[in-house]
A and B are shown apart, each in its own frame.
Chain A
Amino acid sequence: MSLMRLEQITKRFGSGDQQTTALKQIDLTIEKGQFIGLTGPSGSGKTTLLTIMGSLQSPSDGQLYFKDQEIGHLTEKERSALRFNDFGFILQSSNLVSFLTVSEQFELVDRLRKTASPNKADDLLKELGVLDQRRQYPASLSGGQRQRVAIARALYGQPALIFADEPTASLDSKRAIQVAEQLSAITKKTGQTIVMVSHDERVLAYTDQVYIMRDGQLTDK
């Protein structure tokens, strides 16, 4: 059983003469524990594909399966529940809640779930080198610290699939490589799956497989 399967996924925006097709009949299978890279020129549809896989928007056509369940046309409430329970997100800009301290970002998840996560927030923060910042608000962290906290937050709750959109864009080269190494290590250690959009060849080198998006179509590298 594959973790996620895309069959003929198409995404169109607008209507009539203004209609554009961002994704054209994409087929893709993602297995458990893979670290997948997505690259391609700007406007090629990478982020659109990532957001459809992450259930942030629905495809216009085609089927999207997660653990063999069709998830392409769920209600907004069902999609929220899926994102909360099974997916993690690492965004280009920080995906942290600005009015919560680093520790509280994790506490919020526990409170909304009513149960403590199998992961220990402090262990994750320690592993990512930001434990000392646990009482700080996101605004007082450096870009690199924020991104590492965001990674810890995405991993917390052990989601099956983590979507990362340019997670190293705001980091210097050294930090970018460090983050890529950490993401790669996570997939090996926990068996979690990561789909990462990136332009950075050095970062993509850490992935198991890279796909290139061009004009809404997906090709193997």
Chain B
Amino acid sequence: MRTLYLAIKEMKHAKLRYSLIIFTLFLIAYLIYFLTGLAYGLANNNRSAIDHWDANRIVISQYANKNLAASELQTKSLPTIKGDQQDHAYLGQMMGVVSGAQIEKQNTSVFGIDFDDFLKPTLTKGRLPKATREVAVDDSLQGIKLNQEIKLNGRSEKYKVVGLTNDHRYNTQPVTYLSLKDFRQMRYGPAANDQINAVVLRDGASIKKDDQLTNLTIKQLIDNIPGYGPQVKTFALMIGALLIIVAFIVGIFMYIITIEKTTVYGVMRTQGISGGQLVSSLMWQSLFLGLIGVGAGFIGNLLTTLVLPVSVPYANNSLLIGAFSAVLLLMTVVGALFSIWRILKIDPLDAIGGA
């Protein structure tokens, strides 16, 4: 703490120089937060409907290659499901197109469920479907309202919107919930009565092993949503690269400043200020630069959130923001470590022109 004074005084004296570093850190921190928001928002759009299940495992057909939409099962052919009846639920799923008198054609992910099962969505408005051709739809579907009539996949049947959900998306599309019976009829025709895509299992429920079935964890299911993995990895790579760049930027800036200060450091070493104290001052400076730059980036990110259009898949996650803030601060300090050996190497004799 004794070297804090030295660190602050120097920063106040060379305001422009240190402001430039802070501004650079702000830009990078802002970019990292923005990318994190986009990555999380996009990931959330892929999986939020599944996250609401609060389930552990899902069973799909073996040939489906871990792709829920490609899976087809018959309930009558399934092996015995162990556990409480309430801990497993049948799921039908397909991609579809919603259209209607007052809404334009939009993509949707159709979930066929039994509204008495744990897969039933939590509604923000209206009620759960009870009768035939009633649906609950996510409110991110543009122009959707309660009691509206919509068509699915261009079929002649009309479905009445009786409930609205919020943040129920799958594979980036808003989810339309309808009964399994309606789902089967729409996808397989009137004769179908036991087709499903998957069985979702919660704690305590299990299904006997079968060559025709694949038993996935929910994480495995999410990781195999088409496009999800590459998307997450791309963002993770970009953010990771930026974090490393932060260390280099701070390192280069601090190293240049350290070289410029060789004489004044020499003077201080002559006066008996130890190399350790000078290093400590440098570390304080890095921490301050990091705190101000990262703090400004965070505030900038919050302000951006206020003006972003709703259509942008953007969501802040406090855990991720906290973690990246900590890593950013760590990287600013790591960057400054490059200059330590330089400081410790400074000979006080340099200050008096050698001897």
Interface of A with B (CB < 8 Å)?
22, 47-48, 50-51, 54, 56-57, 76-77, 80-85, 87, 89, 91-100, 104, 107-108, 111-112, 114, 137, 153, 165
Contact = CB atoms under 8 A, between A and B. Distances in A.
Contacts of B264: 97-99
A89 B271 contact: yes
A57 B270 contact: no
Contact of B348 (A56, A96, A97, A165): A56
A-B CB proximity, top 9 nearest:
A84-B272, A83-B272, A99-B13, A80-B274, A47-B355, A51-B355, A48-B355, A99-B10, A111-B5
Given A22-B355, A99-B9, 20 more contacts: A47-B355, A50-B355, A51-B355, A54-B270, A56-B270, A56-B352, A76-B275, A80-B273, A83-B270, A83-B348, A89-B352, A92-B352, A93-B351, A94-B267, A95-B267, A99-B264, A107-B5, A112-B2, A112-B273, A153-B271
A98 B265 CA distance: 10
Contacts of B353: 92-93
A103 to B, nearest CB: 11
B330 interface: no
Contact of A91 (B13, B275, B277, B351): B351
7 contacts: A80-B274, A83-B271, A95-B271, A95-B352, A100-B9, A112-B273, A165-B352
A91 B5 contact: no
A137 B349 contact: no
Given A48-B355, A56-B348, A108-B5, A91 B270 contact: yes
Contacts of B2: 111-112, 114
A85 B9 contact: no
B273 A84 contact: yes
A54 B348 CA distance: 11
Interface of B: 2-3, 5-6, 9-10, 13-14, 264, 267-277, 348-349, 351-353, 355
Given A56-B349, A93-B353, A99-B9, A77 B268 contact: no
B271 A51 contact: no
B352 A51 contact: yes
B274 A77 contact: yes
Contacts of B13: 98-100, 137
Contacts of A96: 267
Contacts of B352: 47, 51, 56, 89, 91-93, 95, 165
Given A92-B353, A99-B264, A80 B5 contact: no
B56 to A, nearest CB: 58
B272 A97 contact: no
Given A97-B264, A99-B264, A137-B13, A108 B6 contact: yes
A95 B6 contact: no
Contact of A82 (B10, B272, B277): B272
A97 B268 CA distance: 7
B236 to A, nearest CB: 41
Nearest to A114: B2
A94 B276 CA distance: 23
B279 to A, nearest CB: 12
Given A51-B355, A114-B2, A95 B273 contact: no
Given A84-B272, A85-B272, A112-B273, A97 B5 contact: no
A82 B270 CA distance: 11
